[in-house]
Amino acid sequence: MISRMSGAGAPGTRRCPLLLSIGVLACALCACTVGPDYVKPSAPTPASYKETEASGPWKIAAPADSTKRGQWWKVFGDAHLDALEAQVTTSNQDLKAAEARYREARALAQQARAGYYPTVTAGVGAARYRASANVPGKTAATIGPNNDFLLPLDVSWEPDLWGRVRRSVESGVASAQASSADVETVRLSLQAELAADYFELRGLDAEIGLLEQTLVAYRKALELTQSRYSGGVASQTDVAQAETQLKTTQAQAIDLGVRRAQLEHAIAVLVGKPASDFSLPAAPFEPLPPAVPVGLPSQLLERRPDIAGAERRVASANAQIGVAEAAYYPTVTLSAAFGFESASVSDWFNWPSRVWALGGSASQTIFEGGRRRAVSEQARAAHDETVASYRETVLSAFRDVEDNLAELRILADEARVQDDAVRSSQRSVTLTTNRYTGGAATYLDVVVVQAISLSNQRTSIDIARRRMSASVRLIKAIGGGWQATDLPSGQDVLASDGKTTLAPQSP
């Protein structure tokens, strides 16, 4: 209590120069920060992608390239996809959860920053008390009953002599930046998942359309066979084969509806709508994989939010080493108090009722059984873990790019060969059907070539669908137009305006 610490006398005045000297010394020592300064860890980075060294269609990104920053899906030129992607940013619940985690990390950084400033508390108290009459030296006046009215203002400050607060703020800012990168990783993953599901659904639409066209041809073939059977030219076996082929193809078309419904429901969740209230009508499938500028491998380190997040976690763990090492040094606390105390309300705020106190303390842990050393070793081990995770993330990123470059190159070659197979099988159907009509072939021959033709056409659609999905994954693998400069700065993280400064979502 203030009343017990000091009165308004000369001793407190004589202490002022000493406390002022302590404060000046504390401020001078604030420049000292223990723990290692952060150095971005190295990561294995190839000079070029293996796939780009071959004669592939890939080009190096130039400064003029603009892969629709924030809206990369527009390179596909699909208005339906554009409308769906816009809903992911505003309605997806996983993205909202990620943004809430960023706000939480930002608030923790701001909590750490509060350690720079003194703590000021104020209060008011009123009491009536009576002292014991059996204590030696007590008089009737001191025994009471007496009143005590108190209005204190206490200030305490722990100077950041060894950089514990600075390292804590550094760690908190880096963690918040990593959380911001996580938001962009979630956003990019959801957008890519939506695009992949969308093209998968459109591919199923094309496949269902193919089967429906085939069913029209098969019905005509069945009618022809029944007519030939009625005329005594075809056998009942031919009719059975035609009916079997028709029903089998109908069953295949119906079965595709299951997968389409599931994809439609998955898209509904991604755009934040109940599956029962969402539908996506069939539309033409136009498989035109865009030309994606892949850039240099060294650029990938600045273009993927997951890599940026892993790097920021290394910075956060590095700062925690300094926080742990600061525990080895003394803790200094400066305090001051001022207020009014009186035995009556009328004299409470008179100047003679003032009370004040100034003080300082320093403490040093002498023995704690190795706890500080263990905490420091834990911080260093955690740092080493984040470095390994960062390098693993970089390696996985390069693998993702190479995987999708290779898949697109190989699928392009396969598509050319498959197109030839489709044309050959269709020509075979025409020739075999003509021979059957002329009586030179059995209907089994027709069934075989029709099945081969249908299989080739379905394979062709599947390849086109896989090429579009691989294009989506490639764009995701190179970051979707994101840049490390989109991370919020330390000033943005520590700003108290309540805003969440995240990467822009428009070109």
In a structure prediction context, what are the per-residue pLDDT tens digits for the chain, which is 507 residues long?
344 444 434 344 444 454 445 554 555 445 578 889 999 999 888 888 888 765 454 444 443 344 445 789 999 999 999 999 999 988 899 999 999 999 999 999 999 999 999 999 999 999 888 777 777 766 666 777 888 899 999 999 999 999 999 999 999 999 999 999 999 999 999 999 999 999 999 999 999 999 999 999 999 989 988 988 888 888 899 899 999 999 999 999 999 999 999 999 999 999 999 999 999 999 988 888 888 888 888 888 889 999 999 999 999 999 999 999 999 999 999 999 999 989 888 888 889 889 999 999 999 999 989 999 999 999 999 999 999 999 999 999 999 999 999 999 999 999 999 999 999 999 999 999 889 888 888 888 989 999 999 999 999 999 999 999 999 999 999 999 888 888 999 999 998 765 554 544 433
Measured distance between the N- and C-terminal CA atoms of the chain, rounded to whole angstroms: 61
- Residue 127, strand partner residues: 148
- Residue 150, strand partner residues: 125, 341
Give the integer Cα–Cα distance in Å for 99 and 223: 62
217: Cα separation from own chain's centroid = 50
Length of the chain measured in residues: 507
Give the integer Cα–Cα distance in Å for 341 and 352: 9
CATH 2.20.200.10 fits 1-31+123-159+330-363, yes or no: yes
Please name the residue ranges forming H helices in 301-370: 305-326
361 phi and psi angles, rounded to 5 deg: -150, 155
pLDDT at 233: 82
Tens digit of pLDDT for each residue in 32-78? 788 899 999 998 888 888 887 654 544 444 433 444 457 899 999 99
Structure tokens at 205: 């639409």
Cα torsion 23, 25, 28, 31: sign:
negative
Give the integer Cα–Cα distance in Å for 219 and 201: 27
pLDDT at 53: 65
pLDDT at 234: 83
Please name the residue ranges forming H helices in 366-442: 371-437
Contacts of 420 (CB under 8 A, 6+ apart): none
The answer to whether the beta carbons of residues 230 and 47 sit under 8 Å apart is no
pLDDT at 426: 94
Contacts of 212 (CB under 8 A, 6+ apart): 253
The answer to whether the beta carbons of residues 174 and 313 sit under 8 Å apart is yes
Tens digit of pLDDT for each residue in 120-142? 999 999 988 877 777 776 666 67
Q: What is the pTM of this model?
A: 0.84
The answer to whether the beta carbons of residues 190 and 98 sit under 8 Å apart is no
213 phi and psi angles, rounded to 5 deg: -65, -40
Integer CA distances (angstroms), 312 to 69, 163, 438, in order: 22, 20, 75
The answer to whether the beta carbons of residues 336 and 358 sit under 8 Å apart is yes
The answer to whether the beta carbons of residues 129 and 159 sit under 8 Å apart is no
Give the integer Cα–Cα distance in Å for 168 and 379: 13
138 phi and psi angles, rounded to 5 deg: -80, 140
pLDDT at 298: 86
Cα torsion 130, 136, 137, 140: sign:
positive
